[in-house]
Amino acid sequence: MPVTSQTIFNDAPWMAPGLTTDARAALLDAALTEDERYSLLHSQWAIGFLPDAPLPDGAIPAAGYVPPIPRLGIPGLYETDASLGVTNPRNARPGDTATALPSGLAMASTWDPGLAHDAGAMIGDEAAKKGFNVLLGGGMNLVRDPRCGRNFEYLGEDPLLAGVLSGEAIRGTQSQGIIATAKHFVLNDQETGRHVVNAVIDEAALRESDLLAFQIAIERGAPGAIMSAYNKINGHYACENDALLNGVLKGDWAFPGFVMADWGATTSVRAAANGLDQQSGEQLDFRVWFDEPLRGSVAAGETQPHRISDMSRRILRSMFAAGLFDRPLPEGQPIDYAAHGRIAHRAAAEGIVLLKNDAGLLPLSGEAKRIAVIGGHADVGVLCGGGSSQVTTGKGHAAFIHAGGEGAMMAMASEAYHPSPPLAAIKRAAVGARVSFANGRYPSEAATIAAGSDIAVVFANQWTTEGADVPDLTLPSGQDALIEAVAAANPNTIVVLQTGGPILMPWLERVAGVLQAWYPGSQGGEAIADVLFGAACPSGRLPVTFPQSTAQLPRPELPGLGKRWAAPFGPRIDLSRAPGFDVAHPEGSDVGYRWFARMGRPTLFPFGYGLSYTAFSYANLAVTGGDTLTITFDVTNTGPCEGIDTPQVYLSSRRGAPIRRLLGWSRLRLKPGERAAATVTADPRLLADFDTDRRAWHVPEGRYEIALAHSAEDFALHSGASIAEKWIMP
């Protein structure tokens, strides 16, 4: 494997003490030759397994590579995926494994910014020690459709929750001296036709939702890079969207870093003038736009010459800001996989959401002498999502099941299991019990085993992947029938779900318990057993709404489903000529729970929901107004064991009109009987509307009612206060 470490040029003018990052970048940029400058503007696909895209000289096999410029001590860019751990696509670095976090939705279910930070730092440490200096995480698109195949990589449906957690993960990653990336900018909310779909949305609505999530993440995390998405927004490809890249990101928000394209997403040379700074994975695009064609465009007067050095300067600036010129990467140093495993374990356990627990059946006590474990390949491992984020874990994958399906993406996709089998973990935890297993292929067999047991634990899986959406929200492969058969045979049936996102539960009334374990990562089996047997008190809260049916969604039919749309993998395609389709966003900024509240539609499980083995009560709610809302309250653990609560504050009405927006939350670990005080201060942008004429946030004067809540639908206490009119810069 090539070594990335570079010579540190301590005597160079751009390294002089006291210079700002901007000044350093400008000095170094001025020293570049034209060829060197252009070499920074496009990365190569570094995966190395396609005949027309062999591994570039000097690259580490991974997602992307920009060669170094040794003359000036500029290190290469070594880019790896991503948000859930350092990936090793198709074992391109033979035998190299990494720690796998649980899915993004599991992390979001913890509502824990500190944990997101530690997890980001963990990935950053592994990436740097493997020789990478650019992490292509964090993924943070809002979950607008529960059928999106990549929801598992993201952080839920709320802009504040996703923005805060993503910002913290990015901050954690960059604390390890490498660049992190917020992606996919923006509105990449379905995988179906992702290279040609045009997301149509009102500008104010976009500001108040997906853009606000990015804005918060950028403010908190200061990522060196933003990855622009595949799709179009309001008629323009994300990678060449002047209004979003130059107007919002670099203009209104003054983002100083660089914008890189998603892989195979650069469709023209125009993208440079419109705000894209770096073409990615150039072999996947129709052309290497950001070399000869871009030089031609400058010569023809279509792209301003100063824009070219703006592009390279932004890239160099992020490299300086991350510390890439200050010290070599800690490449090859030992990785503390045991400590990292503990972070993954904690995230998995605290991300599990207890959705149902009739008569306190859970946690399982020593009285359960016969436990039937059924289905979900629980004897093999825990499920992980597919695509570029899929991590190969410490002991290698336990099983690969080829997914099949049309297109190059599906040809590469496989349903993989991390070798952390829940069955083994349950056997270890169920001291003195007889644990039997049925694979669940035959419901009748499973029912027979369940009937002869005190407890039946059914594992039900929904595999999802980048590149494809699920057509509906039913559990695949007859698992609903399996659960029905087991529940009919044994009333003490507990369902453990490993799904990419929300699913429907036609059997809900007939089972005693439901655990949402998402994709629980490299320590997932142990985390599931911890919650089942009470070593961990469940504390996860849903970061997405579970609907009762797809008919309730803003788009009851998934747009474009069932048609073949252009995909960039395989023969290079001129995407600018590929047929596409529009997707309307009638929900606007009312994503998820806000949509359900606006439409008065009942949910299966609301956003923010999650049960515990203990109980919490709220008191002394007080709200002060003025500049923004400050909310104070007390939380008491009134139940039998130590646990974590996540009291949530929602805006419930503004100037007499109903509205629902999460304003903030607290996260408290309390012993039985313990009481603690909490304070939530609302970001005033969450009280505001975005005014597109004045290009600013407007907080209207008036009375604002809030609710202190257990979920978006379970309001415990109400109060309110008045606010003065306020304009906030964008």
Q: Indicate which residues carry an active-site annotation.
A: 262
According to DSSP, the residues that pair with 719 across neighbouring strands are 706
The single residue among 65, 132, 255, 263 that binds ligand BGC, judged by CB under 6 A, is: 263
Count of residues that bind ligand BGC according to CB under 6 A: 8
By the rule CB under 6 A, 183 interacts with ligand BGC: yes
Which residues face 385 on adjacent strands? none
User: What's the CA gap between 390 and 86, in Å, rounded?
Assistant: 9
In the complex with ligand BGC, the residue whose CB is nearer, 183 or 314, is: 183
β partners of residue 260: 227, 278
With respect to ligand BGC, which residue has the nearer C-beta, 141 or 309? Answer: 141
How far apart CA 276 and CA 307 sit, in angstroms, is 10
The nearest distance, CB 606 to ligand BGC, in angstroms, is: 29
Mask of contacts with ligand BGC, 76-95, x by CB under 6 A? -----xx-------------
Pairing of β 134-135 and β 225-228: unpaired
* Nearest distance from C-beta of residue 583 to ligand BGC, angstroms: 18
Give the DSSP H or E segment for 321.
Answer: helix 305-322
- Restricting to residues 583-642, name those near ligand BGC by CB under 6 A: none
Q: At what angle do helices 479-489 and 443-451 cross, to 10 degrees?
A: 30
Nearer to ligand BGC, 214 or 263 (CB): 263
Smallest distance from ligand BGC to CB 82, Å: 5
Residue type, 78: Y
Report the SS3 class of residue 344: helix
Q: Which residues contact 33 (CB under 8 A, 6 or more apart)?
A: none
Task: Evaluate the CA torsion angle 433, 436, 440, 446 in order and state its sign.
Answer: negative
Q: How far is the CB of 153 from ligand BGC (least distance, A)?
A: 8
Task: Tell me the C-alpha distance between 201 and 692, whole Å.
Answer: 13
Residue indicated by tokens 């994300």? 238
Which member of 267, 388, 490, 522 binds ligand BGC (CB under 6 A)? Answer: 388
**Distance, CA of 433 to CA of 426 (rounded, Å):** 10
Tell me which residues in 88-147 interact with ligand BGC (CB under 6 A).
Answer: 136
The contacts of residue 640 (CB under 8 Å, 6+ apart) are: 613, 614, 672
118, 157, 262, 277: residue in contact with ligand BGC (rule CB under 6 A): 262
Cα(489)–Cα(456) distance, integer angstroms? 9
Residue positions counted in the chain:
730
Q: State the nearest-atom distance from the C-beta of 201 to ligand BGC, in Å.
A: 20
Nearer to ligand BGC, 136 or 651 (CB): 136
- Cβ 223 to ligand BGC shortest distance, Å: 13
Distance CA(129)–CA(123), nearest Å, equals 10
What minimum distance in Å lies between the beta carbon of 408 and ligand BGC? Answer: 11
Rounded distance, CA 5 to CA 330, Å? Answer: 8
Nearest by Cα to 661 from 637, 641, 680: 680
Q: Confirm if 609 and 355 have CB atoms less than 8 A apart.
A: yes
User: 3-state SS string over 111-132?
Assistant: CCHHHHHHHHHHHHHHHHHCCC
Helix (H) or strand (E) holding 418: strand 414-418
Pair 101, 85: CB distance under 8 Å = yes
Residue 462, phi then psi, degrees to nearest 5: -130, 110
Q: How far apart are CA 281 and CA 292, in angstroms?
A: 16
Could you give the 3-state DSSP secondary structure of residue 635?
Answer: strand
CB of 136 to ligand BGC, least distance (A): 4
Query: Would you give the DSSP letter of residue 42?
Result: B
Kindly tell me which of 197 and 495 has the beta carbon lying closer to ligand BGC: 197
d(CA 278, CA 263): 11
Distance in Å, CB of 388 to ligand BGC, minimum: 4
Nearer to ligand BGC, 408 or 717 (CB): 408
Residue 294 beta carbon to ligand BGC: minimum distance, rounded to whole angstroms: 22
Our CB check for ligand BGC shows the closer of 136 and 430 to be 136
By C-beta, is 178 or 372 nearer to ligand BGC? Answer: 178
**DSSP code per residue over 644-668:** EE--EEEEEEETTEEEEEEEEE--E
229 versus 707: smaller Cβ distance to ligand BGC? 229
| Contact status: 214 vs ligand BGC (CB under 6 A) | no
Residue whose CB is less far from ligand BGC, 389 or 492:
389
Measure Cα distances from 203 to 111, 163, 207, 449, 585 in Å.
Answer: 28, 19, 6, 56, 11
Write the CB contacts of 75 (distance below 8 Å, at least 6 apart in sequence).
Answer: 4, 6, 68, 133, 319, 324, 325
- Closest contact distance (angstroms) between CB of 134 and ligand BGC is 10
Q: How far is the CB of 114 from ligand BGC (least distance, A)?
A: 25
656, with CB counted inside 10 A (0-12, 13-18, 19+), is exposed
Which residue's CB is nearer to ligand BGC, number 107 or number 487?
Answer: 107
- What CA–CA distance (Å, rounded) separates 538 from 614? 9
Q: Provide the minimum distance between the beta carbon of 150 and ligand BGC in the complex, in angstroms, as a whole number.
A: 8
- Contact positions with ligand BGC (CB under 6 A) in 687-716: none
Of the two residues 388 and 516, which places its CB atom closer to ligand BGC in the complex? 388
Residue 193, CA distances (Å) to 197, 327, 463 in order: 5, 42, 19
Single residue of 55, 59, 60, 63 touching ligand BGC by CB under 6 A: 63
Select 354 or 567, whichever has its Cβ closest to ligand BGC. Answer: 567
Note the residues at the interface with ligand BGC (CB under 6 A). Answer: 63, 81-82, 136, 183, 262-263, 388
